[in-house]
Amino acid sequence: MKDLASMRQRAIALMREAIALLDETGEAHAAAHLHAAIDAAERKAPLKPGEELPDENLAVSAPAPFRSDPALVRAMGGALALIATVMTRQGGVSLDEVADLLGVYAGVTNETSGEEGLILACWVAMLRDVAAAQRG
């Protein structure tokens, strides 16, 4: 018997990886469609006219052009996820809490450096994906 929930989570993780690749190649339109597909798979209702995102401080837009090396950003984010996972196993803090705190920092950093804010926001997304995979 297939575990549909874990298959859905794996599909979502693959879509997030595809978004990163599409972002590297400048395919923003295709990436936006994948974001919508992820929302549908996670059963999130679309925003209604007049509704706003819950925390506008975390809505980080990409500076143009993006000067950072995407592979380096992903590698450092993966290392951060590994370190945060080990920290959470020691107790005292959850992976979700680490992601939330880093998200606040990303929003604040975005005020002075859009590129740094975007990198931090990427890492937040990676941490949240790891936390969701551990729960699922």
Regarding whether 134 and 75 lie in a shared domain, the answer is: yes
Regarding whether 112 and 46 lie in a shared domain, the answer is: no
The pTM assigned to this predicted structure is 0.48
In the block, tokens 């990886």 appear at: 17
Which of 31, 50, 69 is at the close of a domain?
A: 50
Regarding whether 79 and 59 lie in a shared domain, the answer is: yes
User: What is the per-residue pLDDT for 1?
Assistant: 53
Domain limits at 96?
52-136
Regarding whether 11 and 62 lie in a shared domain, the answer is: no
User: What is the per-residue pLDDT for 58?
Assistant: 52
User: What is the rounded average pLDDT of the residues 108-113?
Assistant: 83
Q: What is the pLDDT of residues 69-107, one digit of tens each?
A: 777 888 888 888 888 888 888 887 888 888 888 888 888
Overall domain count for the chain: 2
Regarding whether 4 and 66 lie in a shared domain, the answer is: no
For 52, counting Cβ atoms within 10 Å of its Cβ (0-12 exposed, 13-18 middle, 19+ buried), the class is exposed
Which of 35, 50, 65 is at the close of a domain?
A: 50
User: What is the per-residue pLDDT for 62?
Assistant: 47
Q: What is the pLDDT of residues 15-34, one digit of tens each?
A: 888 888 888 888 888 888 88
Regarding whether 68 and 25 lie in a shared domain, the answer is: no
Q: What is the pLDDT of residues 29-78, one digit of tens each?
A: 888 888 788 888 888 776 677 777 666 455 455 445 556 777 788 888 88
User: What is the per-residue pLDDT for 16?
Assistant: 86
Regarding whether 122 and 97 lie in a shared domain, the answer is: yes
Are the CB atoms for 29 and 78 separated by under 8 Å?
Answer: no
